Copies of this chain bind each other. A is one copy, B any other.
Amino acid sequence: MKCRKCNQNAVINMREHKLALCKEHFLTWIPEQTQRSIETYQMFTVEDRILVAVSGGKDSLALWEILNQLGYAADGLYIDLGIESDGGYSSRSRQFAQAFANQRGLALQTVDVRQREGASIQKAAQIARRGSEKTCSVCGLTKRHIMNQTAREGAYDVIVTGHNLDDEAAVLFGNTLNWLSGYLLRQEPVLPATETGFARKAKPLCRLYEREIAAYAFLKEIEYIHDECPYAKGANSIFYKETLNSMETARPGIKLAFYLSFLKAKREGMFASRTNAAREFHICPTCGQPTLNMDECAYCRLWNQVRTVIEEPPRKP
């Protein structure tokens, strides 16, 4: 297999794009594609201050690397969720994120959920009586809240995350299998900032396959945590990804076509927009962030509950 651009030996054959590339051209192609997504969806410009949510995994670290290479001003945010299983999953991921930042002289801000709220994600999920499958919902809620607050407090123009095409296609697949119109309406490569207090959010890797980013991280010698989060096992998202992967094997490119034709159909007015118009946001009296609740936001409610239980003196038998 030869590189389409220079006819040297190719390092990767992307059947999804009918494109094989050598190392040099592949390492140029990935940032070019990212830049193309940034422009196509008007995610941000070189004037914007960017906050990259980094997990220590390949996608977010590759994204941070690409953004800096493309000349964007991007700081990192690592949220330590306090996950201790799998040999200290959180502290291991944190080390990868910190080492990456140190080696490149980049600014990384860290928020430790245990220090901030007094308990880990596991503990919170236990107390909120959400089963082990629901740890992911506590985690998602917490991360979204902290990311938004950090972006606003630090006057960042945009939060960017490392979601790749496989992530986006799996979310879309799950929402489509259940026809969740609210979620379908909100799934976008970029969500604008709102007057109610949401920062702008963007996903510059949304059109790149996970495999492509893994190859990029490998060739760029980016060191990252290879393990999946221990709570992801058996999650619906894994089931959706596996299904899409087996479809992709049979029909290369089907994942990208599914995602892009969705965005196109939406842009062309496929969905009635009224579903979203009814969403009225209020300001949480505790934290000042926007919420659909009439009183405290879901984040404050959850963590107040957790603190109440933890601070309660244990009953005598």
Please give the residue numbers on chain A whose beta carbons come within 8 Å of chain B beta carbons, in ascending order.
176-179, 181, 184, 239, 243, 246-247, 250-251, 254, 257-258, 261-262, 264-265, 268-275
Evaluate contact between B258 and A177: CB separation under 8 angstroms: yes
- Residues in chain B near residue A265, CB distance under 8 A: 179, 181
In the assembled complex, the Cα of A264 lies from the Cα of B274 at a distance in Å of 16
Q: List 14 A-B contacts (CB under 8 A).
A: A177-B254, A177-B258, A177-B261, A178-B258, A179-B262, A179-B264, A179-B270, A181-B268, A243-B243, A243-B246, A243-B247, A269-B275, A271-B272, A272-B272
Question: Assembly of this chain: how many copies?
Answer: 2
* Minimal Cβ-Cβ distance residue in B for A265: B179
Of the residues B239, B247, B250, contact of A251 by C-beta under 8 Å:
B239
**Main secondary structure on A side of the interface with B:** helix
Of the residues B179, B246, B251, B270, contact of A272 by C-beta under 8 Å:
B270
Evaluate contact between A239 and B250: CB separation under 8 angstroms: yes
- Residues in chain B near residue A181, CB distance under 8 A: 265, 268, 270
Minimum CB–CB distance from A127 to chain B (whole Å) comes to 29
- Residues in chain B near residue A272, CB distance under 8 A: 269-273
Extra contacts besides A177-B254, A239-B251, A270-B272 (10): CB < 8 Å? A176-B176, A177-B257, A178-B258, A179-B264, A181-B268, A239-B250, A243-B246, A269-B274, A271-B271, A271-B272
Minimum CB–CB distance from A184 to chain B (whole Å) comes to 8
Minimum CB–CB distance from A286 to chain B (whole Å) comes to 34
Q: Most chain-B Cβ atoms within 10 A of its Cβ — which of A179, A264, A265?
A: A179
